[in-house]
Structure 1
C-alpha cells in the first residue's frame, strides 16, 4: 500500500515560514498555499513538492507583487 502524500512548500529554495498571513492547507490529495495581505516581500519563486514512497513531483510558480499607489 502506498502511503499518503507528503507536501513541502519552498520560497526561493527555502522552507516556507508559516505565519498569521502565510498558511498551508493540506488535504489527502492536494495542498494549497494561502497568503493574505500580500506585500512586495512576498514576491519570489514558490515550489510545492509532493512525495510518497513511490515518487516525488514538484511544481514552481513565480509570484510578483507590485506596489499600487492610488491617484
Structure 2
C-alpha cells in the first residue's frame, strides 16, 4: 500500500497504549488494531482528527506516502 500509517510509532513516542487511545478516541480495539497493523483501506477525517488530538500530533506525523516503486525496491 502506498500510504503507511505510523500509529505504532506515535503510540510508543507518547507512551500510550492502544487501550488508552481506544478510550480517548472512541474506537474499538479491533479497528485500532487494523489501523496499527496497516490493514486499513481508508480512515475517516474525524477518526484521524481524534487520533491526532489524543496523541497531540499532526496528520503528517502519522501518515507517509511511499511509491509503489519504493515498495518494490525493498524486496529486491
Larger relative strand fraction: 1
Relative contact order (alpha carbons < 8 A, sep ≥ 6): 1 or 2 greater? 2
Q: Work out whether the TM-score is over 0.5.
A: no
Instruction: Give TM-score, length-normalised by structure 1.
Output: 0.31
Instruction: Give TM-score, length-normalised by structure 2.
Output: 0.30
**Greater C-alpha Rg:** 1
Larger relative helix fraction: 2
